[in-house]
Amino acid sequence: TTAPAQAGWRFRQPSVIPGFGLTLGFSLAYLTLIILIPLSGLIWRSAALGWPEFWAIATDRRTINALEISFGTAFIAAGVNVVFGTLVAWVLVRYRFPGRRIVDAMVDLPFALPTAVAGIALTTLYAPNGWIGKLLMPLGIKVAYTPLGIVIALIFIGLPFVVRTVQPIMEEIDKEVEEAAATLGASRFQIITRILFPGLAPAITTGFSLAFARGVGEYGSVIFIAGNLPYKSEIAPLLIVIRLEEYNYPAATAIAAIMLFLSFLMLLIVNLAQSWSRKRYG
């Protein structure tokens, strides 16, 4: 009678794989040194400001505008990447064509390319006198030095996150399932919405969250094409750097703490949506 009770109080079930305590201790130590201690220092430095001073920095019009641009453009870019990243993954998985491997390798180019180089290249293309920018100017579309340019830069650096998240899941979906649905009279729209989307929804949500998180904190590829105009195209990471260059460390830490809180809140919402989709679709 005592053996089951003692087994119920065990922290974990016995495993044939040794080293649980060592790996758990290493993981906790690594997370503490790399993540928890720096974040704790940021929160502690921000708390030392006092609530009135912190609130004054948080409600400053320039701070609010920079946060709106950073989170707004990151959200739009992540949404665009969800659509076109899923299409790119679909083409790479379901079709065989000449140069497919080259296209597959080019998807990872933003990972290897320095962000500053990407920003300079995009600015060269979309500037008013650039190859693409001079074609858009007669139409009244200005890309460089506007929030639209920021969105394009974030789409460029965020696309691989969606493609590489959705592609492995899409490869596991058997074509015979679609063919069976088609033989039963399902239309292409029904196959996409009832057969493909339920299996891809968790991966699409994960890709969106990764692209969004990368876009919020992106700096190198944005500062060149954004123009960095206060109240118009100034992003929050750049404002933090400006405050640091002004030796205004309290303002820099306060803005960083606000970004940390908003990013955590957005990712929490995305994770809850992902958990809901997994429970609903399996």
Structure letter (DSSP) for residue 32:
I
Q: Which residue has the higher pLDDT, 277 or 212?
A: 212
Report pLDDT for 212.
92
Report pLDDT for 21.
75
- pLDDT of 42 > 70? The answer is yes
Report pLDDT for 16.
59
pTM for the predicted model, two decimal places = 0.82
Report pLDDT for 44.
79
Residue 65 pLDDT level (bands cut at 50, 70, 90): very high
Residues comprising the chain, all counted: 282
Residue 17 pLDDT level (bands cut at 50, 70, 90): low
- pLDDT of 152 > 90? The answer is yes
Q: Over 171-212, what HEC string results?
A: HHCCHHHHHHHHHCCCCHHHHHHHHHHHHHHHHHHHHHHHHH
The alpha carbon torsion through 42, 71, 105, 84 (nearest 10 deg) reads: 160
Token pair of 257 as six digits: 């703490």
What is the distance of C-alpha 71 from the center of its chain? Answer: 11
CA distances from residue 131 to 5, 106, 115, 120, 166 in whole angstroms, order as listed: 74, 21, 20, 13, 32
- In the three-class reduction of DSSP (H, G, I as helix; E, B as strand; rest coil), residue 187 is classed as coil
- pLDDT of 250 > 80? The answer is yes
**Most trustworthy range by pLDDT among 171-175, 207-211, 260-264:** 207-211
- pLDDT of 178 > 90? The answer is no
Token pair of 195 as six digits: 């057969």
Report pLDDT for 80.
96
Report pLDDT for 15.
60
Q: Secondary structure of the chain: what % helix, strand, coil (to 5)?
A: 80, 0, 20
Non-local (6+) Cβ contacts of 142 within 8 A are 128, 133, 136, 148
- pLDDT of 4 > 70? The answer is no
